[in-house]
Amino acid sequence: MSGLKLEVPEIPVVEQVQLPARETALIVVDMQNDFVKPGGRLVVPAAANTIEPIKQLLARARARGVRVFYTQDTHYEGDPEFSIWGEHVKAGTWGWEIVDELKPQPGDIVVQKTRYDGFYGTPLEDLLRVYKVLNLVVTGTVANICVLHTAGSAALRWLRVYVPMDTVSALNEFDYYAALRQISFPYRGTIVRTAAGVEFV
């Protein structure tokens, strides 16, 4: 059986963006123990490397009054998704909790979701509209699953999406770059080389 070899189309990357703090929100997607920490049920090995860039980005965002959101993947006994990925992030377990290094702070909003998309069946869209958010900086894991679906849903709602490359992770290199390509092309998102290149003004 022969495999397929694909050429990755060019992915536009910018070094720096300036975003108005009052019109921008930062979202941290599914940075939970089961996905990030040793002993988790569905660990993305590269996710640990994104903790520090996300942490620094969060600090700068909070300092400028940028709204901060988290998605928390949440499943219950007998969830159909377990047939795909196995049991993971069951509500109330250690694996379900957001990693200590990125714990939500007072004023942050945590949105529990039961599917890949942070908008599906959650109040996220309404909250972003209430706060008059036009720009969404998307970070977290997994790049080609929950990050991609959340970024795509944001773009379909005409939010401008920004993804710092060092703040997202995937299970393999192909999935990582495929997600960035998808976000940058049909969804017209902006891929920023590093979190340090995102400035809130």
CATH number at residue 134: 3.40.50.850
Farthest CA pair distance, the chain: 55
Evaluate whether residue 33 is within a structural domain: yes
56 contacts: CB under 8 Å, gap ≥ 6: 195, 196
In a domain, 10, yes or no: no
Q: Which residue range is the domain that position 99 belongs to? A: 17-78+86-200
Residues of the chain with pLDDT under 70: 1
Q: What is the CA radius of gyration of the chain?
A: 16
**pLDDT score at 3:** 82
Q: What's the structural domain count of the chain?
A: 1
In this structure, are strands 24-29 and 198-200 parallel, antiparallel, or unpaired? unpaired
Note whether residue 178 is domain-resident. yes
pTM of the model: 0.95
- Is 48 inside a domain boundary? yes
Domain-located, residue 105: yes
Q: Tell me the catalytic residues.
A: 30, 113, 146
Classify 20 in phi/psi space as left (phi over 0), alpha (psi -120 to 50) or beta: beta
Q: Residue 132 falls within a domain, yes or no?
A: yes
Strand, coil or helix: 190: strand
Residue 193: DSSP 8-state: S
Output the pLDDT for position 5: 79
**Is 1 inside any structural domain?**
no
**For residue 52, what are its two tokens?**
């520090």
Angle at which helix 173-184 crosses helix 148-156, to 10 degrees, equals 0
Euclidean distance between CA atoms 42 and 57, whole angstroms: 25
Cβ(54)–Cβ(168) under 8 Å? Answer: no
